Structure 1
Amino acid sequence: MTTLLDLGDESFVSLTTYRRTGKPVPTPVWVVRDGDDLVVWTSRDSGKVKRLRRDQRVALAPCSRRGRVAPDAPRISATARVQESEREVGDAERLLRRKYGVQFHLVTTIERVVTLVRRRSSPRVALRISAG
């Protein structure tokens, strides 16, 4: 049986958050283990963060880079907390940088360029995901 922490070994995980109506919104994310939890690093202004501020319930499943979840993939229910302190966000960034290496560097470099072009940046937050 797959546990929450087992999902920390996956390259991509579908993180499902819920709209006010209860409609699920899946998003493929990078995820890393941190103790007994999983951690995600994302933009403070993202839809998933807005939804999590209202409803901390999440569902997770292994997925492809594009978010495709296999029909027989395990699905795990959990709760997620938005963390905004400099230390928590920095810790999440370091853990993800260690796990994803060059991929992490490439994606964050592209994000910096896009931020310069748009002249608008959104601070990062960490999402701490816990069992049950």
Structure 2
Amino acid sequence: MDDALRDRLGAGKYLLVTSYRKNGTPVATPVWVVRDGDALGVWTAADSWKVKRIRARGDVLVGPCDVRGKPTGDQVPATAEICDPATTARYRRLIARKYGLLGRMTLLGSRLRRGLNGTVGIRVTF
């Protein structure tokens, strides 16, 4: 994986993460994305289907997309893993910084609805 593509995906507003159901059917979901060293980080509800799919099968496809999940570039193979609480907290801070007021309001709303443990980070490596 070249750094230029990782930089471009990490700098984008949305990342399309395609995970797989048990029967192999791909399911694509647009998510906010932040750069995390040599990886990418996303944040989502802990009880979401994408988290369940990634726990069962960590291989994913990732690529740039718009807010509706329409791909705006090629998808590349990657590995996704559910993060520990410390990494999840770091992703929350990075998202708040990158997405500004909208990011902070979304994080606050999520914390009020789900509590601090209601969301998890997902680390994507290439």
- State TM-score, norm by structure 2: 0.88
> Separation in 2 of the partners of 1:27 and 1:90?
22
Segments of 4+ in structure 1 off by > 4 A? Answer: none
Q: Of residues 110, 117, 123 in structure 1, which corresponds to 2:118? A: 123
Q: Distance in 2 between matches of 1:46 and 1:53?
A: 11
Shift of 1:83: 1.0
- Structure 2 residue aligned with 1:105: 104
Q: What is residue 55 of structure 2 aligned with on the other side?
A: 53
Alignment match, 1:92: 91
Supply the RMSD in Å over aligned alpha carbons: 1.9
Deviation at 1:108, TM superposition (A): 2.7
The percent identity for this pair of structures is 38
Give 5+ residue unaligned stretches, structure 1: none
Give the whole-Å Cα distance in 2 for the aligned partners of 1:110 and 1:26: 24
Q: Across the two proteins, how many residue pairs are aligned to each other?
A: 123
Partner of 1:42: 44
Higher-Rg structure is 1
Consecutive unaligned residues of structure 2, counting only runs of 5 or more, are none
Structure 1 or 2: more helix by fraction: 2
Q: Residue in 1 aligned with 2:82?
A: 82
Post-superposition offset of 1:110 = 3.9
